[in-house]
Amino acid sequence: MKRRIFKITAIAFIFISVVGLNGCDENNNIVLFSIQNDIDLGKQVSEEIAADPTTYPVMDKSTNAEAYAYLEAVKNAILNSGSVAYKDQFVWQLHIIKDDETLNAFATPGGYIYVYTGLIKYLDNVDDLAGVMGHELAHADLRHTSRNLQKSYGVSFLLSLLIGENSGELTQIAGQLAGNAAGLAFSRDYEKEADAQSVVYLAKTDYACNGAAGFFQKLTDDGHTNDNLPFLSTHPTEASRITDINAKATEEGCDTALSGNNTAGMTYADFKALL
| 204 Cβ neighbours under 8 A, 6+ residues apart | 81, 82, 83
CA–CA separation, 27 and 249 (whole Å): 20
What is the per-residue pLDDT across 48-79, written as a single tens digit (0 to 9) for each? 899 999 999 999 999 999 999 999 999 999 99
> Which residues are bridge partners to 105 per DSSP?
115
Rounded mean pLDDT, 6-20: 45
| 124 Cβ neighbours under 8 A, 6+ residues apart | 218, 268
Rounded mean pLDDT, 36-44: 87
Single-letter code of the amino acid located at 181: A
Q: Which of 26-35, 79-88, 164-173, 227-236 has the lowest mean pLDDT?
A: 227-236
> Are the beta carbons of 101 and 117 closer than 8 angstroms?
no
Q: Is this prediction's pTM over 0.95?
A: no
**What pLDDT score was predicted for residue 233?**
45
> Which residues are bridge partners to 266 per DSSP?
263
